[in-house]
């Protein structure tokens, strides 16, 4: 699968999800992660769709795969924080929430203009 085909598959899955066709979205994301197991975007999308469907174990497994690929990503840390909070593990939720805050601060330091008006 080419990078463009992978991106299109993820976008198609995102569209399916927004239209309420969760099974089609998850099927496409399963194809994407099978074809490109190193695709952070595919794993993160799979985590988010599963989380929205309250499939917490599946969401956690996908989020952990994404996190292994990009552990410093603000958004995957936020996703993991939300999942752990829903699963009732406050300590892990707070850990990932703190990691997300740190990454947000790092982004602000790298590009102060992106946080104009943000306090």
26 neighbors 49 (Cβ within 8 angstroms): yes
* Residue 86 half-sphere exposure toward CB, CA atoms < 13 A: 16
Give SS3 for 49: helix
46-91 per-position pLDDT tens digit:
999 999 999 999 999 999 999 999 998 989 999 999 999 999 989 8
Give SS3 for 25: helix
For the domain made up of 3-113, give the CATH fold: 1.25.40
80-117 per-position pLDDT tens digit:
999 999 999 898 888 888 888 888 887 777 877 765 44
The sign of the CA dihedral 8, 13, 18, 24 is positive
33 neighbors 39 (Cβ within 8 angstroms): yes
**Cα angle: 77, vertex 73, 62; to 5 degrees:** 60
Average pLDDT over residues 32-47: 97
Model pTM? 0.82
Tokens at residue 82, please? 């939300």
Domain ranges of the chain: 3-113
pLDDT of residue 115: 54
pLDDT of residue 110: 81
pLDDT of residue 104: 82
């Amino acid at each position: 699968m080419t990078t463009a085909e992978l991106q299109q598959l993820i976008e198609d899955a995102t569209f399916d999800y927004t239209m309420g066709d969760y099974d089609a979205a998850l099927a496409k994301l399963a194809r994407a992660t099978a074809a490109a197991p190193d695709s952070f975007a595919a794993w993160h999308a799979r985590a988010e769709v599963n989380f929205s469907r309250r499939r917490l174990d599946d969401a956690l497994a996908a989020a952990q795969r994404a996190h292994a690929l990009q552990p410093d990503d603000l958004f995957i840390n936020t996703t993991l924080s939300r999942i752990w909070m829903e699963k009732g593990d406050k300590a892990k939720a707070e850990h990932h929430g703190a990691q997300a805050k740190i990454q947000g601060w790092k982004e602000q330091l790298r590009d102060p203009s992106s946080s104009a008006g943000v306090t």
